[in-house]
Structure 1
Amino acid sequence: MNARTTRTLAAALSLTAALAISGCSGSEDGASEAAPTVSGAFMPQPVNDKMAGAFMVIKNDSGTADKLTGVTSPLSDDLQIHETKNQKMQQVPSLDVPANGELKLERGGDHIMFMGLKSTPTVGDKVTIELRFEKAGPVKVELDVKERTYTGQAPTSTAGNGH
């Protein structure tokens, strides 16, 4: 029995070492992909219960590119990923999250749209969403509901309105 336990422990250690050496090479089901991190997540207070936007920076520290493929929230049954090109907004099935890079969802650019809100959040509320990715697992995010004029604090931007 003792020799069997030793062999089992040795096999487990070998497997652990092999996984550590392989790093984040990924698996077909995406289970080993590093989860993206999110910063600056907010929603401007909606004007009505018809629609609202969500903005944030999604950072991918993985060496593998990924895609934002979906968003869910208790606030709406219809969340859409929108791309903005040439000042025209359109729904898209996904947005790229580059390897060792970030996807900026910001006013006037790519963003998430809530359609048909179940309630109208006000400044100070928090709205929960879950981001879905092609490779990484789902990520839960809390959006801070801000004033309608709030633009966020993009660290790479030199412009701003003092918020």
Structure 2
Amino acid sequence: MNRRTALAGVLTLTTGLALAGCSSSSDRPELKVIGGFMPQPVNDMAAGFLVVQNHGNGADRLTSVTSPLSDDVTIHETKNQVMRKVTSFDVPAGGELDLERGGNHIMFAKLKQQPKQGQKVSVELHFEKAGAVKVDLPVKETTHNPKKQ
């Protein structure tokens, strides 16, 4: 009887741990990138804009961006019309991260080439939990601003 009780205890503990593991998977982010674009650059710098939607129950964090267009890609926040480099942006559970003109954005410096309107620029967004997400940003006219249309 003693062995059966011990075995039952181990099985109960194992089942509990397995269920706990399953419940934590529902706290995962489910990311989708929409509305991305890059205005055609006029010098050796460019900006990228997009929206990261999180349809999951877990928050995530954008930690960096890479691109073949530049070895110097950073993320910037804009507060009180002052732009500064940051190390990450939060992507809240059930919410979104909006990188838009006049606000938070991706900055490309020392461009290796000048992308033209109609082309696409590949970027890889790196998230703390979701990992890397590849996105192509269509290059739009220099003044393109979808929020003001």
TM-score range, shorter chain: 0.7 to 0.9
Residues 1-163 of structure 1 mapped to structure 2, 5 A cutoff? 22=23, 24-25=25-26, 33-48=28-43, 50-152=44-146, 154=147, 160-161=148-149
Aligned mates of 2:68, 2:50 — CA distance in 1: 19
| Aligned residues between the structures | 133
Identity of aligned residues (%): 57
Deviations 1:49-105 (A, max 9, x none): x21000010001121111100000000001000001111000000011111100000
Q: Contact between 1:51 and 1:117, CA under 8 Å: does it hold in 2?
A: yes
Deviations 1:121-141 (A, max 9, x none): 000000000000111121000
Aligned mates of 2:29, 2:83 — CA distance in 1: 30
- Runs (5+) with no aligned partner, structure 2: 1-14
Larger Rg computed on CA atoms: 2
Over the aligned positions, Cα root-mean-square deviation in angstroms equals 2.0
Aligned mates of 1:137, 1:122 — CA distance in 2: 29
- How far did 1:24 drift? 2.4
Q: Which amino acid aligns with 1:47?
A: V
Deviating runs (4+, > 4 A) in structure 1?
17-21
Q: Which amino acid aligns with 1:92?
A: V
Q: Which amino acid aligns with 2:25?
A: C
Aligned mates of 1:123, 1:137 — CA distance in 2: 29
**Is the strand fraction higher in 1 or 2?**
2
**Is the helix fraction higher in 1 or 2?**
2
2:3 maps to none
- Runs (5+) with no aligned partner, structure 1: 1-13, 27-32, 155-159
Return closer, same or farther for 1:68/1:60 CA change in 2, 3 Å cut-off. same
